[in-house]
Structure 1
C-alpha cells in the first residue's frame, strides 16, 4: 500500500509562482496551472506533514541531508519581485527518517543551525522547496537533499528506508519530488545548448508515462552531464519509496519555455 496520502513530481522555476510571473505571465502558465491542480490534490489529501526532496537545499558531500531545525525560511526573487516563506519542521519525523536511513547503512546527516531548539534554530529554505510549497497546504515539512556523490542505487535504497519511516508513522504524509529537468535547451541560457536536453527530457516523459521511474538510473554519466537535469535523484528516491504496483502516475504537463524543462506529474 502506498504510504503517502499524495505525492507528485513538481518543478521549481521561480516564475511559476504567480507573485513572480512578471510581464510574461504566459511563459510558464501551463506549469502554473498544473501546480495549482497538484496543490488542490495535496490539499484534498489533508496531509499532516509534507516531505520535500530538493536538489538545492543544504548539501553534505557524500551524505543525504535531512532538515532538523525548528523552522526554515527563505525567499525567491524574480522579475523585481520577492516571495518569502517560513515553515515549521516536523522534527520527530525527520529524526525517524534519519534513523531508518542509518539502519539501512546509508550515509545520512541531520542538519540544524545556530541553536538546538527555539526561534533561532532556523535553516534556509531553498527555491526547490519554496516554489512547489507555494501551491501546497501550510503544514509542517521535512526537507531532504540528495547527494550526487552517491550512486543512483543508493537513492533508490534511501527511498525504501524513507518508506519504512513513513509506514511506521501514524501521520498523514505527502511527498514532493522537486525536479527541474534538462538545463541546456537554450544557447543563451547559463549552460548553453546541447541536443541531449531534448532527448533526455523526452525519455523522462516516456518513463513517467510508463511508470518506469527506476529506469532513470540507466542514464549514462555523459548523457546526464550534457543535458544537465536536476530531477533524476529526487525521482529515484520517490521510486524507491513507492512501489511500481502502488503508483498511479499521471503526467499533467511538460514544457521548456526557457532554458530548462518543467514537468508536473501526480502519483
Structure 2
C-alpha cells in the first residue's frame, strides 16, 4: 500500500540551515521523516544517481553505500542501506513492456559484492528518514506524457503491494537564482520556483504541463522530470499536501511537501 509521498531537497543547506527560512524547511523535513516512519520501504526517485539519456533506471544492487557528498560536506547517515530487491524487480518487470527502463547492478548479481554508490541526491533526504530498505529510481528526460504514465503505473503497483511503501522525490528546483552561482541568474528560476510552491500547496501538479521546454531550459531545475512522475502518481492515488516550505539560501531553490492519503 502506498502510504504517502514526500518532496524533499538535496542541498546541504537543508541539513545545515544558514537562515530562518531554511531552518523552517529543515524542521518540516524532520517532521516528514517522522510521518513516514510507518513505511516499510522507500521508493526514492533521484536525479543524481545513474544518468541514462533514454531510459528510466531501477537500481538492483543489493547494498547501497553513501559515497559522494556535494562539495565534500559530510552529512551523517547510515554506513549502508539495502535494496528491496523483490519490489524493485516487480517494478522493473511490470514496467519494461511499456516504458524504456533499465535494471542496474554492479560486480555481481547478489551478495556482498553487489554494491552501488549513493550521492547527495539520496544522502540528504535519507538524513531525515529512518533507515528502511530502498528502491532507487532514476528519471530520464523522456516525453512528458511517458513520465506521467510511468507515475500512474508506479502508483497503482505500489498501492497493490503487500507492504507499506512511501515515495520520496529528491528534487531541487531552479538553479539560476544568483549571478554568483554556476548557472548565473535567470528570472525563469524564480518564476518556476514560485509556481512549483503554489502547486505543492494546492496539491495539484497539473500546472507542470504549462511550462514550455524553453522556459524549463532557462529555469534549470532538476525537479521537473521527477515531478511529472509524481503527477502521475497523484492522478491515480489522490493525496492531500502538508508541510510545504521553501528556501533559497544560495543559487538553487529547495522545497518540502508531504502528500498524505
On whether the aligned pair clears a TM of 0.5, the verdict is yes
2:211 is aligned, of 219, 222, 232, to 219
Mapped pair 1:88 → 2:77: no
Relative to structure 1, is the Cα distance of residues 239 and 77 closer, same or farther in structure 2, using a 3 angstrom cutoff? closer
Gaps spanning 5+ residues in structure 1: where?
A: none
Partner of residue 160, structure 1: 152
Relative to structure 1, is the Cα distance of residues 135 and 48 closer, same or farther in structure 2, using a 3 angstrom cutoff? same
SS where residue 54 of structure 2 aligns? Answer: coil
RMSD value, Cα: 1.9
Mapped pair 1:101 → 2:95: yes
Partner of residue 136, structure 1: 129
Mapped pair 1:15 → 2:13: yes
Structure-1 separation of matches of 2:204 and 2:5: 16
1:114 is aligned, of 94, 107, 121, to 107
Partner of residue 45, structure 2: 53
Could you tell me whether the CA contact under 8 Å between 1:9 and 1:266 is conserved in 2?
yes
Deviation at residue 121 of structure 1 after TM alignment: 0.4
Could you tell me whether the CA contact under 8 Å between 2:6 and 2:257 is conserved in 1?
yes
Partner of residue 191, structure 2: 199
SS where residue 125 of structure 1 aligns? Answer: strand
Residue pairs, 1:173-192, within 5 angstroms: 173-192=165-184
Partner of residue 241, structure 1: 233
Structure-2 separation of matches of 1:36 and 1:187: 31
2:29 is aligned, of 35, 40, 49, to 35
Give TM-score scaled by structure 2 length. Answer: 0.92
Structure-2 separation of matches of 1:156 and 1:106: 11
Gaps spanning 5+ residues in structure 2: where?
A: none
Relative to structure 1, is the Cα distance of residues 235 and 95 closer, same or farther in structure 2, using a 3 angstrom cutoff? same
Structure-2 separation of matches of 1:146 and 1:245: 20
Superposed CA deviations along residues 234-253 of structure 1, whole A, max 9, x for unmatched, are 11112212337721012521
Partner of residue 55, structure 2: 63
Could you tell me whether the CA contact under 8 Å between 1:73 and 1:84 is conserved in 2?
no
Structure 1 segments of 4+ aligned residues over 3 angstroms from their partners: 24-28, 77-85
Q: How many residues align?
A: 257
